[in-house]
Amino acid sequence: MSMTEADIRQALSQLIDQNTGQDFISSKSAKNIQIQGNDVSLDIVLSYPANTV
C-alpha cells in the first residue's frame, strides 16, 4: 500500500510542536509535501527562530 499526501497530513496532524502547542498541519508549518515511491520529503517552516542541529 502506498502513502498518499492525505496519509502524511494525517500523521503530521498528530505531531505537536512543543514550542507552540499546535500540530504541524493546523499551524501550516508543513510545506511542499512530495511523495516519490517509498520516499517522502517535506519542509517544516517554523514561526520562530530555532537552533540548527
Range 15-43 average pLDDT: 96
Q: Look at residue 50 and tell me whether its pLDDT is greater than 90.
A: no
Q: Could you state, in order of their start, the residue ranges of all structural domains in the chain?
A: 5-44
Q: Look at residue 5 and tell me whether its pLDDT is greater than 80.
A: yes
Q: Look at residue 1 and tell me whether its pLDDT is greater than 90.
A: no
- Residue 51, pLDDT score: 80
Please spell the DSSP secondary structure of 1-53, one letter per residue. Answer: ----HHHHHHHHTTPBPTTTSSBTTTTT-EEEEEEETTEEEEEE--SS-----
- Quick one: cell of 34? 512530495
Q: How confident is the model at residue 52 (pLDDT cuts 50, 70, 90)?
A: confident
